[in-house]
């Protein structure tokens, strides 16, 4: 079992080429350089950096635990690192986005553990020769990007549907060809290593899910308190007291936090008395049940 598949090598080649082109543009163009520095500052701001630190520490602890198992091999680190840097990090970053709702976690679990997991595993385990992979990757990337752009505008719905059909057709062809390669090469596989590689994404997803929920919960409370501050008195003690009451009412439920934000914040005002706020909390508990 090679450490890197031809698909991973081809992807690394194209990513490297893009990074070199971007690096040259940054070095030679002052405006691009300034914009890139601004993006980096946003990317590494204090709050995001804390999330990353917690996330990577959490993954490190999980990996350290697994490394104590008798079947552990260092070659599994490649699959773990790839999942951590791409799928896992994307899922955690999306968890703190404003669009994440009470169904986000269940949606992530369904999308990652259903049949697509098997398909992705099949496509990543049995790959084509390097030159074929070098051709396939940019073509699929270009079609996918065009589809994303076409999906954003109502006047290009027909193009979006056409590209979806093209992607589905190419996907079926790739799966069919991959199955043929798999039938020819399956005897060369180390079954233990193959099974471990198959389960790594699912096992890590299940272990990271509680952390994702904590991130989402923290993000929702932070957004809620930011919106509350415009309708609260300046007294920090009063703010802290009311925030604690909200936490007690909503608890660990993202759904209740979202409901409180929608139903109760519009009814708040700066001069609201403590008794009125208590009544609002009582009403919110009934609304959010």
Kindly state the tokens that stand for 230: 């415009």
- Which of 159, 188, 217 is the last residue before a domain boundary? 217
Number of domains in the chain: 2
Distance, in Å, from the CA atom of 127 to the CA atom of 274, rounded to the nearest integer, reads 65
| pLDDT per residue as tens digits for the range 244-280 | 999 988 888 888 888 888 888 888 888 888 888 888 8
| pLDDT per residue as tens digits for the range 190-204 | 667 777 777 888 889
Task: Clarify whether residues 257 and 169 are in a common domain.
Answer: no
- Which of 217, 241, 266 is the last residue before a domain boundary? 217
Task: Clarify whether residues 203 and 91 are in a common domain.
Answer: yes
SS3 171: helix
In the chain, % of residues over pLDDT 90: 11
| pLDDT per residue as tens digits for the range 99-127 | 777 788 888 777 776 655 555 555 565 56
Task: Clarify whether residues 164 and 260 are in a common domain.
Answer: no
Helices (H) and strands (E) counted in the chain, each on its own, are: 13, 0
Task: Clarify whether residues 177 and 244 are in a common domain.
Answer: no
* Helix spans in the chain (H): 6-28, 30-43, 46-66, 76-83, 89-95, 104-113, 115-125, 130-151, 157-185, 191-228, 236-250, 254-263, 274-287
Task: Clarify whether residues 79 and 126 are in a common domain.
Answer: yes
Task: Clarify whether residues 210 and 237 are in a common domain.
Answer: no
DSSP structure string for 25-92: HHHH-HHHHHHHHHHHHHHT-HHHHHHHHHHHHHHHHHHHHHTTSTT--TTHHHHHHHHIIIIIHHHH
Q: Residue 133: CB partners within 8 Å, gap ≥ 6?
A: 6, 7, 9, 10, 11, 127
Task: Clarify whether residues 254 and 171 are in a common domain.
Answer: no
Distance, in Å, from the CA atom of 214 to the CA atom of 209, rounded to the nearest integer, reads 9
Query: Does residue 153 surpass a pLDDT of 80?
Result: no
- Residue 23: predicted pLDDT: 83
Task: Clarify whether residues 209 and 275 are in a common domain.
Answer: no
Q: Residue 248: CB partners within 8 Å, gap ≥ 6?
A: none
Residue 153 within a domain: yes
Kindly state the tokens that stand for 152: 């954003």
Q: Say what the pTM is.
A: 0.73
Residue 259 within a domain: yes
Residue 263 within a domain: yes
- C-alpha pair distances (Å), 77 with each of 33, 70, 171, 181: 34, 15, 28, 25
- Residue 12: predicted pLDDT: 81
- Which of 217, 242, 265 is the last residue before a domain boundary? 217
Residue 133 within a domain: yes
Average pLDDT on 170-187 reads: 64
Residue 226 within a domain: no
Residue 223 within a domain: no
Distance, in Å, from the CA atom of 205 to the CA atom of 70, rounded to the nearest integer, reads 22
Residue 222 within a domain: no
Give 269: exposed, middle or buried? Use CB within 10 Å, 0-12, 13-18, 19+: exposed
Residue 224 within a domain: no
Task: Clarify whether residues 189 and 270 are in a common domain.
Answer: no
Task: Clarify whether residues 182 and 245 are in a common domain.
Answer: no
Task: Clarify whether residues 161 and 282 are in a common domain.
Answer: no
The domain of 20 spans 6-217
Task: Clarify whether residues 53 and 180 are in a common domain.
Answer: yes
């Amino acid at each position: 079992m090679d450490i890197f598949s031809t698909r991973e090598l081809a992807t690394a080649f194209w990513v490297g080429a893009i990074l070199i082109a971007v690096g040259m543009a940054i070095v030679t163009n002052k405006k691009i350089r300034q914009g890139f520095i601004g993006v980096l500052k946003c990317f590494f701001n204090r709050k995001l950096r804390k999330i990353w630190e917690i996330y990577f520490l959490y993954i490190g602890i999980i990996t350290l635990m697994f490394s104590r198992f008798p079947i552990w091999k260092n070659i599994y680190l490649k699959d773990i690192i790839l999942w951590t840097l791409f799928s896992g990090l994307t899922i955690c970053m999306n968890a703190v986005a404003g669009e994440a709702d009470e169904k986000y976690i269940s949606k992530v679990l369904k999308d990652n553990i259903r049949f697509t997991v098997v398909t992705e595993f099949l496509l990543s385990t049995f790959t084509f020769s390097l030159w074929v992979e070098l051709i396939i990757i940019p073509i699929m990337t270009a079609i996918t990007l065009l589809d994303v752009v076409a999906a954003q505008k109502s006047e290009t719905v027909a193009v979006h549907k056409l590209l979806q059909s093209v992607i589905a057709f190419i996907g079926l062809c790739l799966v069919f060809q991959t199955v043929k390669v798999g039938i020819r090469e399956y005897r060369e596989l180390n079954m233990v290593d193959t099974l471990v590689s198959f389960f790594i994404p699912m096992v890590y997803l299940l272990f990271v899910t509680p952390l994702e929920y904590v991130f989402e919960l923290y993000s929702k409370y932070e957004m809620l308190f930011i919106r509350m501050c415009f309708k609260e008195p300046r007294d920090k003690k009063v703010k802290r007291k009311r925030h604690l009451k909200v936490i007690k009412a909503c608890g660990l439920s993202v759904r209740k936090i979202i409901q409180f934000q929608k139903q109760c914040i519009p009814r708040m005002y700066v001069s609201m008395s403590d008794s009125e706020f208590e009544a609002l909390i009582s009403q919110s508990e009934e609304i959010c049940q």
